[in-house]
Amino acid sequence: MNKKGFTLIELLIVVAVIGILASVVLVGLGPIQKQGRDARRISDLRQIQNGLELYYNKNGAYPQQSWGAFQASTLTGANIGVSNVPSDPTAGRSYYYESANGTTYCLGAQLEDLNNPNWRRSVNCNSSCFNGSGSGNPTTGQYYCVSL
């Protein structure tokens, strides 16, 4: 008798092998996904900086706020031509902003990849631009910051 097709055992073995290979690939992509989200955060901070400069050109000062989550309505509601402000790619995270005097500011994002080389080029949020007045104070080595 000539039977064509696979037995149930053969199919289960193939499905198990494919499952193992898929899990290995997904585990290997974890760090790459973190780096991708961090790259987006850094790009978003540059876009927010551009919006802050537009705000400054129109109002003569940066929006004053103690260190805390950046309010997108600050730029979209200022009638400066900014219709959309980027938000952090991970739910539950925010970009952070501080401007105590309206002439300088610090803008930061918490990166996921602890070995990200961009931290070496980042402004130190604690000493260079953050004055410690807000809640949720950043700590060195957790935030990528840009300032003016």
Quick check: pTM over 0.75? no
Radius of gyration of the chain measured on its C-alpha atoms:
23
Which range scores top for mean pLDDT: 4-13, 21-30, 102-111, 126-135? 4-13
Count: domains in the chain: 1
Asked if the structure places residue 30 within a domain, the reply is yes
Asked if the structure places residue 46 within a domain, the reply is yes
Place of tokens 């400069």: 53
Asked if the structure places residue 129 within a domain, the reply is yes
Do strands 106-110 and 95-99 pair parallel, antiparallel, or not at all (unpaired)? antiparallel
Place of tokens 């930061």: 108
**Residue 3 to residue 5: CA distance in whole angstroms:** 7
For residues 140 and 104, the model is more confident at 104
Asked if the structure places residue 4 within a domain, the reply is no
Taking only the tens place, the pLDDT of each residue in 63-100 is 988 878 888 888 888 888 888 888 889 888 888 888 88
Place of tokens 């509601």: 77
pLDDT of residue 79: 84
Q: Domain of residue 129: give its range.
A: 10-147
**Residue 136 to residue 89: CA distance in whole angstroms:** 20
